[in-house]
Structure 1
Amino acid sequence: MTPLLRVRLIDDDDDLRAAQRQTLTLAGLEVEEFSAAEPALAGLSPDYPGVVLTDVRMPGMDGIQLFQRLHALDPDLPVILLTGHGDVQMAVSALQDGAYDFRTKPVAADRLIAALRRALATRALVLENRRLRLPSLDAAAAHPPLMGDSAAMVRLREMLHRVAEAESDALIRGPAGAGKSLVARAIHQQGRRRSRALVTVDCASVDAAGFEVLLTGQEAAPGSRLPRRPGLLEGAHRGILCLERLDDLPRHLQTRLLALVEAGEFWLPGAAAPRPLDLQILATTGPSGDLHEGLFYRLSRAILEVPPLSARREDVPALFRHFLQAAADRLSRSVPPLTDLLMARLSTHGWPGNLRELQGQAESHVLGVGPWTPDTAGGDRPALPDLVAACEAGLIRDALREARGNATEAMTLLGLPRKTFYDKLSRHGIRPADFRSQ
């Protein structure tokens, strides 16, 4: 990601503005200068590739009013205020309202340039995140990531929608490959923070020695023209921080993480005051992930259980067809036929790898190299009783879905007497109540 170097400078003092322009230009920054706030608003948009440096005391529209206008235009546009000693309290208040930083005049050139480079690095990160999010939002609209009509998936979608609306922290639990990261992305896409960053960190691969730098960032080396490295907390501010496999993070780092997010603010190196920290936190763990007690209570305001594929077998055919079409499109191949034997194998397989295994099986089928393709040797053929049982369970579920969970109506559709119907429900572990909300 190439750092942006543009600074919009506003100051009504011509001599001071000229001196600042020269200092910033010598530091390699591209300067756009204005003698008043009103003209400086012209041409600015949420895509502006730079930051704003403005004096506070100016005739007409002052620097605070300019910041408020800019904040309404784009809350993520960094605005640095230049203040006299009498304006410090005013600047601190603006900082709490979302201003990026303030500097008290006279400000040393090296400190001002360092603050601007931090702001430029932050701006570059925001614009890059926005650019990367656009395709994923389009893809999500075209291919819903959490498919299935099983009762477990209906409940899961209802709960994640509530979490998204409430902007609540949440703990997402489930076995490997079940789709926990898909749940986190769906919460982001459905919530009010969808225009903000979704910053994801894999806690299982975190280096303990670099943990603090990863979260809070790292200042550039003295004399370097490169910007500082922003931390994850800074990148996720006003957005969502997703902590994948949080139960794999060592306990002492979980304690430090809790302290950082509970503080509600963080310090940038060389900053005059702390910056507020506004986060929605999502964390994924295994079915019984081991978390620090305080961190668990912080995240357990909502607990979303992602079921294994074996607990929602009725969703397997539709999911397989979805993955099959996606693989065929990506590989520029036609979708191969689905035989009765293949569908029976899909229904009787245990799927220990969950969605990840099912997706891999679909791609193998498109390529014609999987163990279940007609012309490939190997693979266990399901026994006839297993095939019959899988078919019977599928027909019962279809009837209950059509009858919206009404057992009497489903019996009529299947032509079964009451006792036989309920014996089969018990044998297959099917509950009519699970189909009443579908």
Structure 2
Amino acid sequence: MDQATVYLVDDEEDLRSGLAQGLELAGHHVLTFDDPERVPETLGRDAYGVLVTDIRMPKMDGFELMRRALEIDPALPVVLITGHGDVPLAVEAMRSGAYDFLEKPFAVSHLAAVIERAMEKRRLVLENRALRERLADSSDLDSRLVGRAPAMERLRRQVLALAPTDADILILGETGAGKEVVARALHEHGPRRDRPFVALNCGALPADIIESELFGHEKGAFTGASGQRIGKLEYAHGGTVFLDEIESMPLDLQVKLLRVIETRTIERLGSNKAITLDVRFVAATKEDLAKAASEGRFRKDLVYRLNVVTLTLPSLRERREDIPLLFFHLAREARARYRREIPDMPPDYMADLMSRDWPGNVRELRNMADRFVLGLEGFEDSGAPRPDGLFARVAAYEKSLIQAELARQSGSIKATYEALGLSRKALYEKMRKYGLGRDLDGDL
């Protein structure tokens, strides 16, 4: 939050300088104005301060200045002062939105006390606004990166911390774990949100055109280049470039990408002119790039350059406790797409979902949710083996819920049985039944 400031407006120089000196001695930072028309341009919705203004001024009276200030921010505290005050004027001032009204002459200490109360109110307003904005961002992020597992909570915190920066990021995760979703969240929660987000799958572009796709070309650069073409990197200027399956990029092109990342410039094919780029690079891979580099399949220097920050996405089987929440979130999305109601769920359906390994991760679960909403059985279609019997599936589901809650509560028995709605004895019995251990953590 910026420094607290008193915006003091009065056309009488002696009074203005005297009040300013007294307020500064009381510990306030003061900006003085003899022309009220200059004040609104210095104010903003996030201004941490109090406006103190005389009413009787030749160019603009204090009421008009207050009106303009409150148009900028209706919650800005305004203290009006006058040598011609009376009760009707005071009432009009308060009804018009003034925080307080002082009649000359008054002690500077009295004005300082009024300002201190107004400044505290302003601080609370600004803090509440910032909190609401953070909660709105967090709520939006919760709907993108769904899950209550500790790994997902950590991932959301990392995204919110990194989104406002320009740091290049490497996202590591299995197929279908949501790498592009995380990349888009980084883009849309940062200052580049209004600029392009360009996603490139390095494994899907044919080797003979990938260089032209990335860098663009000039007319006549190669056979068939009938005109100038802007490449994907140049098009993304001001925004974010998402390089998915970066491990699939040919080695010779990795050299050129490394130069682009280091210099933030490109040259179109057939041109010697360097074009400056303002882009953020987010790369994604399902492989260990360090291992790939040691095997000669990826450049070590590019690994170091991409790996400024690494975000690791958990697989779905590593956060089984999120499957019910995530499944219903995906089912609601499917309901909106297909305009179908979500069917009633068979008793053993969720236990079956919880018992799967999900090699395709969230993408595979989304397909399952789509089939469920469309009224298709799903399990037979997927070809995945079913657990043996209803009781085994229910037991596996119950065990996974207890494991997840124990992990979420850092092994605290008391917090776990309260969260699950069980007695202490019932939780201990179920833990013995399923062979679950715990970290006592001093909370029995």
Tell me the TM-score normalised to structure 1 length: 0.58
CA distance in 2, matches of 1:430, 1:361: 33
Give 3-state SS (helix, strand or coil) of 2:153's partner: helix
TM-superposed deviation, 1:250: 1.9
In the alignment of these two chains, the number of paired residues is: 291
Give 3-state SS (helix, strand or coil) of 1:206's partner: coil
Q: Aligned pair in 2 of structure 1 residues 398, 264: CA closer, same or farther (>3 Å)? A: closer
The match for 2:59 is none
The match for 1:310 is 317
Q: Say if 1:206 and 1:249, in contact at 8 Å, map to a contact too.
A: no
The match for 1:339 is 346
How well do the aligned residues superpose, as a CA RMSD in angstroms? 3.7
Is it true that 1:415 corresponds to 2:414 in the alignment? no
TM-superposed deviation, 1:354: 0.7
Is it true that 1:190 corresponds to 2:189 in the alignment? yes
1:353 is aligned, of 357, 360, 372, to 360
C-alpha deviations, 1:167-209, integer Å up to 9, x for none?
2101101110111111101101111111111111110023333
- Which segments of structure 1 move beyond 4 Å, counting only runs of 4 or more? 140-143, 268-273, 376-379, 398-401, 421-433
Q: Say if 2:403 and 2:436, in contact at 8 Å, map to a contact too.
A: no
Q: Say if 2:355 and 2:387, in contact at 8 Å, map to a contact too.
A: no
TM-superposed deviation, 1:425: 11
For structure 1, the 5+ residue unaligned runs are: 1-137, 434-438
Give 3-state SS (helix, strand or coil) of 1:414's partner: coil
Q: Say if 1:371 and 1:379, in contact at 8 Å, map to a contact too.
A: no
Q: Say if 1:361 and 1:370, in contact at 8 Å, map to a contact too.
A: no
Q: How does 1:378-397 map to 2 (within 5 A)?
A: 380-383=386-389, 384-395=391-402, 397=404
Q: How does 1:18-97 map to 2 (within 5 A)?
A: none
Give 3-state SS (helix, strand or coil) of 1:295's partner: helix
The match for 1:38 is none
The match for 1:172 is 171
Q: Which amino acid in 2 is paired with 1:174?
A: G
CA distance in 1, matches of 2:436, 2:178: 25
Is it true that 1:276 corresponds to 2:276 in the alignment? yes
Q: Aligned pair in 2 of structure 1 residues 186, 429: CA closer, same or farther (>3 Å)? A: farther
Q: Which amino acid in 1 is paired with 2:168?
A: D
The match for 1:362 is 369
TM-superposed deviation, 1:271: 8.1
The match for 1:218 is 217
Higher relative contact order (CA closer than 8 Å, sequence separation 6+): 1
CA distance in 2, matches of 1:348, 1:398: 17
The match for 1:247 is 247
Q: Aligned pair in 2 of structure 1 residues 232, 429: CA closer, same or farther (>3 Å)? A: farther
Q: Aligned pair in 2 of structure 1 residues 219, 305: CA closer, same or farther (>3 Å)? A: same
Q: Aligned pair in 2 of structure 1 residues 382, 196: CA closer, same or farther (>3 Å)? A: farther
TM-superposed deviation, 1:228: 2.2
Q: Say if 2:410 and 2:439, in contact at 8 Å, map to a contact too.
A: no
CA distance in 2, matches of 1:227, 1:377: 50
CA distance in 1, matches of 2:299, 2:385: 44
Give 3-state SS (helix, strand or coil) of 1:327's partner: helix
Q: Say if 1:167 and 1:192, in contact at 8 Å, map to a contact too.
A: no
2:329 is aligned, of 298, 305, 322, to 322
CA distance in 1, matches of 2:339, 2:397: 32
Q: Which amino acid in 2 is paired with 1:162?
A: A
Q: Say if 2:406 and 2:438, in contact at 8 Å, map to a contact too.
A: no
TM-superposed deviation, 1:144: 2.0
The match for 1:238 is 238
Q: Say if 1:425 and 1:431, in contact at 8 Å, map to a contact too.
A: no
Tell me the TM-score normalised to structure 2 length: 0.58
For structure 2, the 5+ residue unaligned runs are: 1-136, 293-297
Q: Aligned pair in 2 of structure 1 residues 275, 355: CA closer, same or farther (>3 Å)? A: same
Give 3-state SS (helix, strand or coil) of 2:359's partner: coil
TM-superposed deviation, 1:319: 0.9
Q: Say if 1:180 and 1:306, in contact at 8 Å, map to a contact too.
A: yes
The match for 1:96 is none
